[in-house]
Chains A and B, each alone.
Chain A
Amino acid sequence: MLFNSYIFVFLFLPLSLAGYFGLNKFRLYSLAKVFLIGMSFWFYGYFNPSYIVIMAGSICVNYILSYGMLTLNSKNLRKILFALGLIFNIGILFYFKYYDFFISNVNIIFKTDFNLMHLVLPLGISFFTFQQLSYVIDSYKKTVPKYNFFDYALFVTYFPQLIAGPIVLHSEVVPQFADLSGKKLNADNFAAGVMAFSFGMAKKVLIADTLGKIVGWGFADVWGLDSTNAIIVMLCYTLQIYFDFSGYCDMATGIAKMFNINLPMNFNSPYKAVTILDFWDRWHMTLTRFFTYYIYIPLGGNRKGKYRTYLNVFIVFLVSGIWHGANWTFIVWGLVHGIFNIFTRIFKKYFDMLPKIVNWFITFAFVNFAWVIFRADSLTQVKEFFGRIVKGGWGPVYQGLIDSVALPEFDFINFYLENRIPDIKLILIMGVIIFAMSASVFMKNTNERLKTFNPNFVNAVVVAFMLFYGIISLGGVSEFLYFNF
């Protein structure tokens, strides 16, 4: 199930809130947790019920292994359980996410013909596997308390953060669910949650999905782009991925807040970053944190000299690229970021001499180009795309780009203003892009808004309107194209 769906907004969320707070009101605290776990399984299995088995199996195995590590005193036994935990989690991830990628590369290199599995990737598997890995590692280190099974299951399944993060640590969530003061509906938290949810929905549904239409159009025919249109498409994707992902995280933050749970911040206006190091301190922060805690620091971090630091940074970004998807594009994207990160560290003093605005521009431009690698279907398409930027030639915005944004509200405005303003649709599209760009660079992000949230009438009306606009934008009318006709 997605947050940006009718069933979630009108049925699932109200039911979850009513059930959770209703059971807590009667002091049925454990039952309330079980109810929330049950709802989370419904949320997770909505598109494909077989996913539930995978997640439930993963939770049970990880809990048993962790329980063993926390209970046993034998170091050897604990080591064995730890190894099993690592193999199990990485194995699951490899099997579902990377098996076909690995086999297809083996087939290419060794000219073999092994069959591909064509497995459907379970939603959010990278997120819940990493969350559990963190618990397994901490259990081995014995730095975690022994949670009961339901607390552990709720930490993994809690639906607001289940399929797209943030990647929460057990220590952040489990104590909050145990806190009795959070068992009662709190109007202050609920209001703040509604505000965050409305901003997230607007970011995802109104901005990201609109820009996504241009991106989809552009990447469907890269050869057809000239420099002007390729750059617009690239910028649109840069904005789309931010508004999409951070919008979804804002919704998660808002929903959790309604349950009196604070999720960690995942985005801190990353396009305000003035260096690439700064960018990674602001973008998908809980993933960066995970890699820092569980890969970078164990590798020695920056404690073993600068060359070892560079190597560690490089490894972290390589793993990050692999984590993001089973395609060479993601791996190259990770490597490119790693290399630029090291480059920035080496030439730090020169970067520091540049005006802030120049550094911002270099960072933003680099991130833009790197996103092309991330978005492309293949490295060949990356080459094509950059080729179009360099050699495509400059011209007007294509009509195809304008037509790709087939929003009914644009058609409505166009209907009344077309005779007076001929290029009104283009103006509206550019308005969305400029607004998105300005919002991501100049405006406060949702977490900052939450910190300074002060309920007032104007804010309430704005929030209501954003919710309304988001809700009526959730559905559409499909074409049901009959290709044989």
Chain B
Amino acid sequence: MSSKKYLAVVFSALAVLLALAAAPIINIDPFMHYHMPKEEYLYSMYKPWYLNYGIIKNFDYNALITGTSMTDNFKTSEADAIFGTNTIKVPFDGASFKEIDMAVREACEENDNLKLVIRGLDPVNVFKPADYEEYGEKPTYLYDDIIFNDVPYIFNKEILINETFFNTIIYTRWGSKTSFDDYMAWYSSYNYGKQEVLSKYTRPEKTDQKLEYNASAVEMVTENITENVINTAKENPNVEFYYFYAPYSIVYFDRENQNGMLEYNIDSLETAAELILECDNIKLFSFFDNYDLICNLDNYKDIIHYSEKTNTDILNWMKEGTGLLTKDNYKQHFDNMRQFYLNYDYDSIFE
């Protein structure tokens, strides 16, 4: 056989094999990159960093819930009933503001019908650099419409065997459809209460040194909020943004207090609020003055994660306007926070 013929056989056979591997992935599309889920299959949805952009691009919706794991337990059916919307949920566990904002931007660009974005703002993420990303290598080839960079998606044995075969074809035989109420929801897998929370918490030694909320800290928060929260809202005046500070438990405040970070936390939340309230299409909510929620550890599974009842309450509170910060009341709100959390008897938690 001549070398030319040899090469022709190698590359033809390779092309055929690659096409055979890619065909089921493109057809079933386990990460919904190309199309809506196929009616004849059930998709086991559990990889949000792979799925969410496909959901954002291909689903029919006019409202979106996003954020970190603090938004995992939202039920879109409740959001639909409360706000009269058709809602999807695309949480990114552990994500930074930048990473979540990228998804919100994508939704605004892809969906002209988008009317409402409900987004949780984690206090710990407020004072991180604007370009901070929690995860390094993300499947960004799923985040755009460029066909050429889809190679890692369509020529990938893990996606072929695990995601297409096991988690879709085989899952269809015995699984059940994942609704957006259930997607990423973890509330039923955990126990709640003081014992549970404290068992996962190692109290730091109390430090006398307090982290100073200085000009560079203000600048960092300002950049982060401007680039990753406000700009998207300003560029999309027809969309309404309901943002809330995720209500961490009193034990979180204990940790920050022990670390000398408590005032820094509250100051940064106030700076962020001041900036956000300049944006007319963002409604910002804070429930840090809901002490029945924050101080009752029966509502929590660890120092920050609350139960699904709180998610339901948050939706209702936002609809009612409870916890809504305005230009008129936000200073008082944060003064009240300082008054309460800086004087709280944290040792009593451990009695």
Contacts and interface: CB of A to CB of B under 8 A. Distances in A.
B69 A194 contact: no
B275 interface: no
A460 B161 CA distance: 26
A166 to B, nearest CB: 24
Interface stretch (A67-75, A225-233, A474-482): A474-482
B27 interface: no
B162 A482 contact: no
A194 B165 CA distance: 31
A459 B1 CA distance: 11
A123 interface: no
Nearest to B11: A464
A471 interface: yes
Interface in B140-186: 151-152, 155-163, 165-166, 170
Interface in B91-106: 93-94
A6 B18 contact: no
Contacts of A408: 157-158, 160-162, 166
A473 B157 contact: yes
B155 A475 contact: yes
Contacts of A461: 9, 13
B1 A460 contact: yes
B156 A475 contact: yes
A456 B93 contact: no
B151 A187 contact: no
Nearest to B9: A460
A10 B156 contact: no
A468 B12 CA distance: 11
B166 A411 contact: yes
Contacts of A10: 151
Interface string B4-21: 111101111110011001
Interface string A261-305: 000000000000000000000000000000000000000000000
B5 A455 contact: yes
Contacts of A478: 49, 137, 139
A418 interface: no
A408 B152 CA distance: 16
Interface in B1-48: 1-7, 9-14, 17-18, 21, 47
Given A191-B3, A478-B139, A482-B93, A464 B9 contact: yes
Secondary structure call for the A interface: helix
Interface residues of B, number: 42
A366 interface: no
Given A411-B162, A477-B163, A472 B157 contact: yes
Contact of B10 (A460, A472, A476, A482): A460
A478 to B, nearest CB: 7
Nearest to A10: B151
Contacts of A473: 157
B50 interface: yes
B10 A457 contact: no
A298 B163 CA distance: 59
B156 A459 contact: no
Contacts of B4: 187
A409 B161 contact: yes
Contacts of A460: 1, 6, 9-10, 13
B135 interface: yes
Contact of A412 (B18, B50, B161): B161
B128 to A, nearest CB: 14
A477 B17 contact: no
B323 to A, nearest CB: 24
A191 B8 CA distance: 10
A465 B12 CA distance: 11
8 contacts: A194-B7, A409-B161, A412-B161, A456-B6, A467-B14, A471-B155, A476-B156, A477-B47
Interface of A: 6, 10, 187-188, 190-192, 194, 408-409, 411-412, 415, 455-457, 459-461, 463-465, 467-468, 471-478, 480, 482-485
Given A187-B7, A471-B155, 7 more contacts: A408-B162, A460-B9, A468-B21, A471-B18, A472-B156, A477-B158, A478-B49
| Across the A-B interface, the 9 shortest Cβ-Cβ residue pairs | A455-B6, A464-B13, A408-B161, A482-B94, A460-B9, A191-B3, A187-B3, A468-B17, A475-B152
